[in-house]
Amino acid sequence: MRVVNFAHGEFLMLGMYAAFWAFTLLHADPYLTLVVALPLFFAVGWGSYALIMRPIVHTSHNVQVFTTVGLSIVLQNLALVLWSGDARFVRTSYYGSVISIGGAVLNLAQAVAFALAVAATAALFAFMRWSYTGKLMRATAQDRSAAALMGIDTGRIYALTWAVGITCAAAAGVLLAPIYAVYPTVGLQFVLIAYIAVVLGGLGDMAGALIAALIVAAVEVIGSYTVGTAWKELLYLLLFIAILVVRPAGLFGERGSETLGV
């Protein structure tokens, strides 16, 4: 879509709250919530596109940046007003249980989140690569007017792309809920890593983003082992800035794509 959504982290936060409330009020397991959350947040995404994004999707970058920033402020403070700023936890019965795979001991919730995230990424990748709708999305991203001339309903494709993005963010939130505390501003710390991975990989390059995410994770782990856990976030942020200075298109992105502002 060529729109950077600065409210992405807030939808992730909403996903985490959805898991928290389903667990607290209905005693629903977060992984069960996922089944309901996916269509729900798809609808939320579609609605937010129709209401907020549609009028500005073809305007300048600054308008887009500040519209999504405004959306992020609204959602953050809505969560603050409705659910207070307290950090909340989802304490499942299997919280703290571990599994051991080939000698490596993993937290069960983290292992499940990892497996589901890999599955979701693979599914999304396959969808974008091989499905007809995925093809339409890529065509629209590459050249909107050409896509429109070929009879693609680009407005619908944009709404669909936006809704899929929101659904993915919320799904990530549901999966993270059993591992991390939920509070209104939780989105930033996750979404910053996501931006870094995407920019490192090259915007719009899914395989690149996946490899970059692994690089970020490796830097984080190696950094906390050698320099100390207190400095690990600093390391990947500095790496990020260094990459932007040296190779702004990202590791795998097409050279020059960043100055076009894509």
Partner 1 sequence: MRTYGGALAFFAAAGLAPLLVGDAFLRDSLVLILIWGSAAGAWNIAGGYAGQISLGHSAFFGLGAYAAALCGVRWNISPWWGLLIGGALASAAGMVIGFLSNRLRGPYFVIATIAVSQVLLLGASRWRGFTAGSEGIPVPFRPGFWSLGIADKRIWVWIVLALALVVYLAQVYLERSRRGLQLAAVREDEDAALSLGVAARRLKVVAIAVSAAFSAVCGALWAQYVGFVDPLYVFSVDLSLRFALAAIIGGLGTALGLGSHLIGLYLILYGIALIVMVRYAPQGLVGWLRGR
Side-chain-side CA neighbours of 80 within 13 Å: the count stands at: 12
- Shortest Å, Cβ 133 to partner 1: 25
Identity of residue 217: A
Q: Within 159-188, which residues bind partner 1 (CB under 8 A)?
A: 188
Q: Which is nearer to partner 1, 203 or 215 (CB)?
A: 203
Residue 115 is a binding residue for partner 1 (CB under 8 A)? no
Contact criterion met (CB below 8 Å) for 223 and 231: yes
Contact residue for partner 1 among 195, 224, 251, 254 (CB under 8 A): 195
Side-chain-side CA neighbours of 30 within 13 Å: the count stands at: 29
- In the three-class reduction of DSSP (H, G, I as helix; E, B as strand; rest coil), residue 217 is classed as helix
Residue 240 is a binding residue for partner 1 (CB under 8 A)? yes
Residue 4 is a binding residue for partner 1 (CB under 8 A)? yes
Q: Which is nearer to partner 1, 146 or 238 (CB)?
A: 238
- Shortest Å, Cβ 223 to partner 1: 12
Residue 258 is a binding residue for partner 1 (CB under 8 A)? yes
d(CA 210, CA 206): 6
Residue 261 is a binding residue for partner 1 (CB under 8 A)? yes
The owner of tokens 């499905």 is 131
Q: Tokens standing for 1?
A: 């879509």
- Shortest Å, Cβ 6 to partner 1: 8
The owner of tokens 């890529």 is 138
Residue 199 is a binding residue for partner 1 (CB under 8 A)? yes
d(CA 214, CA 201): 10
Q: Which is nearer to partner 1, 36 or 239 (CB)?
A: 239
- Shortest Å, Cβ 136 to partner 1: 23
Q: Within 40-79, which residues bind partner 1 (CB under 8 A)?
A: 52, 55-56, 61-67, 69-74, 76-78
Contact residue for partner 1 among 25, 101, 104, 260 (CB under 8 A): 260
- Other C-beta atoms closer than 10 Å to the C-beta of 9 total 25
Residues contacting 186, CB < 8 A, separation 6+: 9, 12, 13, 16, 180
Binding mask 217-236 for partner 1 (x = CB under 8 A): -------------xx-xx--
d(CA 73, CA 47): 18
The owner of tokens 């979404």 is 191
Q: Tokens standing for 58?
A: 């073809």
Cα three-residue angle 160-163-167, rounded to 5 degrees: 135
Size of the site for partner 1 (CB under 8 A): 44
**Which range, of 144-152, 154-162, 189-197, 210-218, touches partner 1 by CB under 8 A?**
189-197
Q: Residues in the site for partner 1, rule: CB under 8 A?
A: 4, 6, 52, 55-56, 61-67, 69-74, 76-78, 81, 188, 192, 195-196, 199, 203, 230-231, 233-234, 237-238, 240-241, 244-245, 248, 258-262
